[in-house]
A and B are shown apart, each in its own frame.
Chain A
């Protein structure tokens, strides 16, 4: 008996060693270093269990360095097999350079809508080069305990929104809204792109801007700036020097009542905040208006065209496009919503609240991301500065909009 056991052990060790030697190891390039444990503990084991013989390593780089690091790795030939794709031009450029493989023929592509794929396609939508993974939704997260204590209900219209802010300010216990302009992108992303779609009517306005039939100086595009200019009075003291982590901490420490948010905050806030939280979508102008939300396609995964293991890599990507992956991913990372057409059941109540808006509002993506940020000056980056200036009160909404349109006009000639 003892001998048999010993023999079995020996044999299994040898066999495992042999099997190990034939394993193919795939490496994932990513900027999501926050997600390292989720990949290592949840996602990769699930894939490896179903696909013996393939090992996967998640090798993230710091977000700010990702694009530059990836480009140099790709040109040096040392990049991983799987490449996490930024939306739009950064990835399109990699595809055009021949660094990303064409994945149009992947079976899993059928699981995604055209809008979901649009961020990782050529302009004519003929070739798709990354499997969509998740989008992020904008809205406002609020401190439910604070709202209950002050007898407030989440606002649905802009007037109600400012009425709520006035009440919080008059009470004085809480800073009405946690946002700063020091990092600039908060003002643009959580400000302008958050409330804007209700004014420019989501996709309708965004596509008209690309076509050239609307201008950033039109009333619908200046209106969000006009609302932002009014936010100034409701932000904390010295918001001009308040950074993004400052705003997060102000809110999670319970010192501010409302946080203009992106859904990616959910998992962090869940662990940090000691109070109940709720969320409401960007308020509409008049009660009964159609509502629009920014449901921004943010992250996808593609294949390094020069990978040594194309078959295994494709197998992994098919899995990334499957409903199983969508469920695992969306639950491990509440706030990163699956783009898969199969509805995903999520357990986090705040994430459920965010995703429920997809049912009653129309989705759009950030207006500056597709095509319009290809040239110099870059519309997205200019929007950061303009939004921060408008909130700081150093530029009027009309001037900011004019500067953006002038910058765009200097290089962008829409096809007539």
Chain B
């Protein structure tokens, strides 16, 4: 065939709705934000300042202290999710997929339900549970003789962030559980049977056969957790307010961005510095996702059945 290929219009037509909607509500605002971070107000005028806002964010002792504090807290928030949420999710999925477990559907639903609850409800309910005045946490600990363990966890700078991270883990542990559960179910029975023929059963089978097969799913969960945690805002805002107290010990990038962009109480909003923080967050997430995509995902071995 020497002739030119016919222009395949239908591809463009079918892609158009998604591309247009995505461009209008994601791409344009994203570039708008990046653009906004390059301007600032001086006197009455809005002028182009190049990277001066970034110089302020990273150079000014106050801004940079707030930023690094928020980033450090955010990393810790992420680490807790990786160390607690995902292993628990995998263990739960492994238990659920065991054929001997009765009422598996009930457990699966019960564990997944918090995920579909609103942050507002979760934050509020946990605040009440943990409240030193009305909460049931002090009473329950007292009943088992562990009253001395109790403290106003949400009010102490050392424990507030860990407590909130664990609340978030409680809420979202259903997601890794579901994804891993689906991955475990998709392992063909012949693979399992072959393993059993070779004498691999129980935990050994899990470690040697199932885990390697679900590694790609674990990778996806990790990256979802990463993006979710670095975009997090709601739970902290509901539980601790925009000042992310006590003494900014629960301040993460999302709350820092909110306070700066929209202002708080007497602090008027500063869209330009807010956009600068948003751009920094975008950069952090982009770098994280790229590291994963090019550094880890490409090296994961996939198995075809």
A interface list, Cβ under 8 A from B: 67-68, 88-90, 93, 180-185, 236-243, 246, 249-250, 368-369, 373, 376-378, 380-381, 384-385, 388-389, 392, 394-395, 407, 410
Contact = CB atoms under 8 A, between A and B. Distances in A.
Given A182-B240, A241-B152, 13 more contacts: A89-B266, A90-B266, A183-B241, A237-B132, A237-B152, A240-B155, A241-B153, A241-B154, A242-B133, A242-B155, A376-B273, A381-B265, A385-B248
Contacts of B156: 240-241
B33 interface: no
22 contacts: A89-B268, A180-B155, A181-B245, A181-B246, A182-B154, A182-B245, A184-B241, A237-B152, A240-B154, A369-B266, A373-B266, A373-B267, A380-B266, A381-B264, A384-B243, A384-B265, A388-B246, A389-B246, A394-B247, A395-B247, A407-B62, A410-B62
A381 B266 CA distance: 7
Contacts of A385: 243, 245, 247-248
Given A377-B62, A380-B266, A236 B133 contact: yes
B219 interface: no
Contacts of B264: 378, 381
Interface in B202-246: 240-241, 243, 245-246
B266 A368 contact: yes
Which of A184, A237, A240, A378 counts the most B-chain CB atoms under 10 A from its CB?
A240
Contacts of B240: 182
Nearest to B157: A394
A214 B102 CA distance: 73
Contacts of A182: 154-155, 240, 245-246
B130 interface: yes
Nearest to B132: A238
A389 B152 CA distance: 15
Interface residues of B, number: 32
B270 A376 contact: yes
A378 B266 contact: yes
Contact of B247 (A89, A243, A389): A389
Given A241-B154, A246-B131, A394-B247, A67 B263 contact: yes
B148 to A, nearest CB: 13
Contact of B155 (A89, A181, A185, A250): A181
B91 to A, nearest CB: 31
A166 B303 CA distance: 73
Interface of B: 62, 127, 130-134, 138, 151-157, 240-241, 243, 245-248, 262-270, 273
A250 B267 CA distance: 31
Contacts of A368: 266
Given A67-B263, A183-B241, A238-B152, A392 B246 contact: yes
B243 A236 contact: no
A376 B66 CA distance: 12
Which of A90, A368, A378, A389 counts the most B-chain CB atoms under 10 A from its CB?
A378
B133 A240 contact: no
A157 to B, nearest CB: 31
Contacts of A389: 246-247
Nearest to A65: B262
A246 B134 CA distance: 9
Nearest to B263: A67
Contacts of B134: 246
Nearest to B241: A183
Contact of B265 (A240, A243, A380): A380
Contacts of B130: 241
A394 to B, nearest CB: 6
User: What 8 A-B pairs have minimum CB-CB distances, sorted nearest first?
Assistant: A238-B132, A240-B155, A241-B155, A241-B152, A238-B152, A378-B267, A373-B266, A380-B266
A340 B141 CA distance: 55
Nearest to A183: B241
B236 to A, nearest CB: 13
Which of A90, A184, A250 counts the most B-chain CB atoms under 10 A from its CB?
A184
B246 A239 contact: no
A376 B133 contact: no
Contact of B243 (A68, A180, A373, A381): A381
Which of B138, B248, B265 counts the most A-chain CB atoms under 10 A from its CB?
B265
Contacts of B267: 373, 376, 378, 380-381
A388 B132 contact: no
Which of B62, B151, B240, B268 counts the most A-chain CB atoms under 10 A from its CB?
B268
B132 A241 contact: yes
A361 to B, nearest CB: 25
A373 B264 CA distance: 11
Nearest to A237: B132
Nearest to B245: A184
Given A380-B266, A381-B266, A394-B246, A241 B241 contact: no
Contacts of A238: 131-133, 138, 151-152, 155
Contacts of B269: 68
B82 to A, nearest CB: 27
Contacts of A183: 241, 245
B226 to A, nearest CB: 29
A162 B241 CA distance: 32
Nearest to B262: A68
Contact of A240 (B62, B152, B248, B263): B152
Contacts of A89: 266, 268
Contacts of B243: 184, 381, 384-385
Contacts of B154: 182, 240-241
A406 to B, nearest CB: 9
A90 B246 contact: no
A237 B148 CA distance: 13
A239 B154 CA distance: 10
Contacts of A241: 130-132, 152-156
A251 B144 CA distance: 30
Contacts of A388: 245-247
A236 B246 contact: no
A242 B153 CA distance: 11
Contacts of A394: 157, 246-247
A176 B241 CA distance: 27
A377 B62 CA distance: 8
A239 B263 CA distance: 27
A181 B268 CA distance: 24
Contacts of A407: 62
Contacts of B248: 385
A93 B155 contact: no
A101 to B, nearest CB: 20
